[in-house]
Each structure stands twice: as C-alpha cells, then as structure tokens.
Amino acid sequence: MDNLKSLIKEAAFSVKEWVLANRRHLHQHPELSFREWNTCAFIKTQLDALGVNWEPVADTGVIAVIKGEHPSEKVIALRADIDALPITEENTVQYRSCNEGVMHACGHDVHTASLLGVARILQFLRKEFAGTVKLIFQPGEEMLPGGASKIIAAGGLKNPDVQAVLGQHVMPAIPAGKIGVRLGLFMASMDEIKIEVTGKGGHGAEPHKCIDPVMITCTLLQALQQLVSRNADPLMPSVLSFGKLRADGAINIIPDKVLIEGTFRTLNEGWRDEAHKKIKELATALVAGMGGECLVEIRKGYPHLKNNEAFGDAITGYLGEYAGRENIVPLEVWMAAEDFAYYAQELPAFFYLLGVGNAAKNLTSSLHTATFNIDEAVLELSCGGMSYAALRWLGNQ
C-alpha cells in the first residue's frame, strides 16, 4: 500500500504541470453540451501522445482503456464530463474563455484534465498493477437527456465489462485539499416544468373584460408551493422552484398568455411520480376554476443519485489513505442533479466532491457563476487521488 501510494504521488507530482496546461487549454476553449468536437479532438490527441488506445462514443465522447500487466479480471470505470455552460466569463485570468458566451463554470475542464492526468499516471505504471481501468470522457452532462445515458446505451460499460464506476466533481464550498464524501442518498432527481396559462387579454384599464393570466399565474405559483409543504414527507427532501416567468404584456396591456418554467427535485422516485401527477392536476383545475386554460409539460430528467455504500466506503478509505483521513469531510444531501446517477442505476458507483476553494486567494465563487475558478494546486491531488483509489479497489497494494 505504501509503495503504491509513493509511486502514484511521485507520478502525480511529475504530471502536475502537464495537467495544469491541459486544464487551462480546456478552460480557454469551452464547448456546449453535445457540441464538444474540439474538446473531443484534444482528448484524442493527448491519449495518442500517451500511447493509450481509445474509441469514440456518443458522437463527442471518448472511451480509453488501460490494462495493468499483472493478471486480474477486475474492471473499474472513471468518468469525467467534458461540456461547458452558456455563461460569459468575467474572470480576468490569462486563460479566460475565448468562446464568448461559453464558459467552464462547472469545472468540467478540471475533471477532463484530471482524468487525462490519471491516464498518464496509469500508463506509466501499467507494469506495476493488476486490473483494468476504463476512462470515460463523457459529453453533455449539462443537458437532457444527459451524456451518461448515451454512453450506457452505446455499450460504454461493456467490452470490457465494468464492475464499478467512480466520479469526482469540483466544489468551491470545500477548501482545496479536502475531499467531500457521502454514502447512500446524495443528489436529487431533476425535472423540467413548463406551464402555459391562457386567459383573455385586453386593456389594463378594463380588467373586468379580461381573463387575466398574470393574476391566475400568481395564484398558481403560490398554490404549487403547497405541493411540497403539505404533500411531501417532511423527512424527504423536495424542491419546487420556478425561475422563469414571461408575460408579454405592457403597463396597460393584459396579455393573453403567461409562461412559467421551473424545476422539481427530490430523492424518492415514488414521490417524484406522484408529484408530477399532482402538479398537473392542481394546475389544470386551478386555472380552469379561474376561467383560464393551461398546458403542463413535465420533462423527466436525471434520476436521484445514490452512492453505493459498500463501494463508497471502500473508496472513502482509499482516498483517506492517499490524502490523509483528516482531509475527508462528510457531506449533507445536495439538491443539485447529476447524470452520473445513470451509472449508479447500472452498477455500484460512487461520486465524491473535490475541494477547490481558497478564500485567501479569493477563489470562492459558486459553480455556474461567471467568476467561478479553482485553486489549481488541487490538480495534483485530483489525478493522484483518483488513480490511487482506482488501483486500490482493483486489489493493488
């Protein structure tokens, strides 16, 4: 165990500048979900330079396989998402996004560069370990239906057949050098909701001649919140939020229609389905009762993420061995959603958070913001920790 840790720490130190350069290149050249053609090409080029075999998957995805030279039938998959977000970067760093309106504001550049670092470490050490590591560079995490579902449908977990899947995600709320873990229920399902309320528009001075969809929508929004507060089990986390409302009237014009869009999230699939039904029933009845009509569309997104407890407990122990047990911190449920959940439905899977925040360096901006950035000192831990955890699970000492 100590010998393996020493080998990987030495290798991680030796590749850290290469990983840093790759991270900055990826950060400068972000691409939106399922359009990651240049990112995909860059990954292939880097793998070619390492002598690692790869194959394309799900259009802009890449899967690589590194097999240790000692005999073993065990196979683990490591996943990195590669897509960016439609955000205009406000950071003034030299490696600021060159693609206006697109930014790696969720750290997928870090995930990708780190997995390339893992590839380099494992390729260098392949004579020293047993087992097989499959590297999944996955497109489209930020957009339904999610690249994970496409990877699975394309047979990405087969040939060789994967037995467990490991993933990591950066988290600025956790100090750099710390790793956040949670066994069992971890992240929420995510569904998109669109409701169109139709009334009868007219002059703002004559509301009695109209069926005001704005007022109907206001009442509907308040009523919908009671679905969570009065129908969900208080012990079951649920979130119903509406972040978009469009009423194309004017100060003196009552519009004909109002559109609202939001999200529903929970950690229970039974309640999830029940809530969908209740949202549709309530919206239809309430709007009709106020004289209007409504259309409700619920687009079912990612399932909730449940970390496998046995696999997760083992990985947590290995990460503690590598980073120091004092640097492993427990996490609460996080109501964000992740398409890594699809892997967890297929196989034992574990998803952990890598701390990248540093208040002293003013690196505290949240994920999905225009000023998000990381303490790049974590890149050595990011690739080294994942390499060590994977090889330990494969049975190496």
Known binding residues are 106, 108, 142, 169, 368
Q: Which residues are catalytic?
A: 83, 141
Distance CA 67, CA 129 (A): 9
Q: Which residues pair with 137 in a beta bridge?
A: 62, 80
Distance CA 26, CA 20 (A): 10
Rounded to 10 degrees, what is the CA torsion of 42, 48, 52, 56? 50
Q: Which of 81, 50, 115, 193 is nearest to 384 (CA)?
A: 115
Distance CA 47, CA 139 (A): 17
Binding site for Mn(2+): what residues are annotated?
A: 106, 108, 142, 169, 368
Distance CA 109, CA 89 (A): 14
Distance CA 122, CA 346 (A): 25
Contact 119, 18 (CB under 8 A): no
Three-state DSSP state, 125: coil
Q: Report the half-sphere exposure of 149 (CA within 13 A, side-chain side).
A: 13
Q: Report the half-sphere exposure of 307 (CA within 13 A, side-chain side).
A: 27
User: Which two three-digit tokens encode residue 257?
Assistant: 């229609």
Contact 103, 370 (CB under 8 A): yes
CA atoms 26, 27, 30, 34: torsion sign: positive
